[in-house]
Structure 1
Amino acid sequence: MKKIKLSMNASPWAGREIRCPFSLIDAVFDFGQPEYYKDTLNELVTFMFKPKIYHKKSPDHTFIFFAVLHSLLRAAYVIHCKSGQYKIKAPKKGSIKLCYGSLNRKEFQNPLIVFKNVYACKSLEGLNLALFEMVSYALNPFSDYPTWDLITPYIHLCKILDASWQIHQRRIETN
């Protein structure tokens, strides 16, 4: 089987190249909290349908946000391709349902299922394009409404963020 070599493209925002997808997930959540990513993503989607520019005074924040999520999508894809090699530690007993986020019970128990399901529906290129389109529409005051479905990729991105947060919190099991 061909070995998967996919750059995480982390050097623009992390200041260094990161090769391990789990190290990249750690770097993503060292860079910002999950609430920041989800709030920013929600605002981007809201601004897609407004004739206003998202973060008009500092659009560089939006570009950095795009770069971080672009790297996270690549890390999730690498983990998905090698999913048989990894096992995530079980959640602590008595985890409250608020921790689930956008995940259902089964996905919360095994966050790797999220990556499998997302990449079964959308390709890495498709998700990257959707993320690019979201940012593009949010930063363009003269654009028309999106002509294709960007809400489904938005839901996928939310699930990837929640699954990645669970992986970051619980770590992988060592044999």
Structure 2
Amino acid sequence: MKKNKISFGTDFCAEYVAGNPFKAIKAFFDFGHLDYYKQNLTKLVICSYKTKVYEQDNPSNAFVFYTAIFSFLKVCYCLQEKSKKWKVKTSLRSETVFHLSSLTKEEYDNPFIVFEKAFEEKTFKEFEFFLCLILELSLSPYAEDPESDLTTPYIHLIKMLDAAGLMRERGVEKIRKTNLIVSLSE
């Protein structure tokens, strides 16, 4: 049976389609820094509640940002399944936890937990709806009170960005069956 590669839609930012979610994360962060994504996501959500249009001079940037975040969301959805076969490498140097302050100690040690929790609470379609809603509301010059919850998906996306940033910083490695057997017997 032939395995189909999943397109994560990274062609807009890296000029290729990544079938590997870890390569897609690399392409995602090659396109923009972690702070860029977190700040722009926050701006979009804030503009959703105000009459101020997102980046008044060039609101088309919102569509580029939406495309990048939507691709990232696809990657995150796939990463929740990868936790059984992959693990994030432990860091030998002292890392600064401050810039990853949205993660708990448990999530910091195993970032795959972030993706599992996010998609247990919200479905992929709910995250997609959230992105469409903040895009629409942030580009509207009218103040509307969104009828759906914007806070929960926003918090999960920030945590997923931090977790993916941590994974890129540390790297990932495949869990070997011999290590699994040893850890079960201990």
Give the TM-score, by structure 1 length.
Answer: 0.91
CA distance 1:78–1:4, change in 2 (3 Å): farther
| Structure 1 partner of 2:7 | 7
| 1:24-173 correspondence to structure 2 within 5 Å | 24-142=24-142, 144-173=144-173
CA distance in 2 between counterparts of 1:129 and 1:14 reads 25
CA distance in 2 between counterparts of 1:26 and 1:7 reads 15
CA distance in 2 between counterparts of 1:92 and 1:141 reads 49
1:86-112 CA-partner distances (Å, limit 9, x unpaired): 111013353333143210111011100
CA distance in 2 between counterparts of 1:52 and 1:158 reads 22
Letter in 1 for 2:105: R
CA distance in 1 between counterparts of 2:112 and 2:134 reads 25
CA distance in 2 between counterparts of 1:72 and 1:144 reads 27
CA apart distance, 1:5: 5.4
CA distance in 2 between counterparts of 1:165 and 1:143 reads 33
CA distance in 2 between counterparts of 1:4 and 1:124 reads 20
CA apart distance, 1:145: 1.4
Letter in 2 for 1:35: D
Identical aligned residues as a percent: 34
CA distance in 1 between counterparts of 2:91 and 2:133 reads 35
Letter in 2 for 1:53: V
Contact 2:114–2:160 at 8 Å: present in 1 too? yes
CA distance 1:92–1:100, change in 2 (3 Å): farther
3-state DSSP of counterpart to 2:88: coil
| Structure 2 partner of 1:19 | 19
CA distance 1:128–1:67, change in 2 (3 Å): same
CA apart distance, 1:16: 1.9
Output the aligned Cα RMSD.
Answer: 1.7
Following TM superposition, the consecutive aligned residue runs of length 4 or more in structure 1 with deviations greater than 4 angstroms are none
Q: Could you list the runs of 5+ residues in structure 1 that have no partner in the other structure?
A: none
CA apart distance, 1:115: 0.4
Q: Could you list the runs of 5+ residues in structure 2 that have no partner in the other structure?
A: 177-186
CA distance 1:141–1:4, change in 2 (3 Å): farther
CA distance in 1 between counterparts of 2:92 and 2:146 reads 41
Letter in 2 for 1:117: K
Count residues with an aligned counterpart.
173
CA distance in 1 between counterparts of 2:5 and 2:76 reads 13
Letter in 1 for 2:17: E
CA distance in 2 between counterparts of 1:163 and 1:70 reads 16
Contact 2:28–2:68 at 8 Å: present in 1 too? yes
